[in-house]
Amino acid sequence: MSEFTVNQQPQAWREALSVATVLAEQGRAVDAVATALNGVFVPRQRRQQTLIRPGDELTLIQPITGG
C-alpha cells in the first residue's frame, strides 16, 4: 500500500488526493491551519489543486496565540 505522511504520521494514499481533501477529512478548519507539502508552503487558494503523491510529507501548522 502506498502512503504519505501528515505531521509525520503515516496515512494511506489514494488517487486524486488533494491537500484540501485531507484537511476536510481531518475536520480541520481551512482558516485555522497553514499547510506545507514537502517543505513548500501551500497557500489556501492552491490546496484544492495541489495533489498528494505517495511518499509526500504534508505538514499542518496551527498558529499558537497567547500573550
pLDDT in tens, 14-52: 999 999 999 999 999 888 999 999 999 999 999 999 999
In the predicted model, is pLDDT for residue 62 greater than 90? no
Is the model's pLDDT at 57 over the cut of 70?
Answer: yes
Rounded distance between C-alpha atoms, residue 12 and residue 1, angstroms: 7
The alpha carbon of 32 is separated from its chain's Cα centroid by a whole number of angstroms, namely 13
pLDDT at 2: 95
pLDDT number for residue 24? 95
- Asked if 57 contacts 40 with a C-beta cutoff of 8 angstroms, the reply is no
Instruction: Pull the grid cell for residue 38.
Output: 514537502
- Indicate the SS3 state at residue 35: strand
| The pLDDT value given to residue 67 | 63
Model confidence, pTM: 0.90
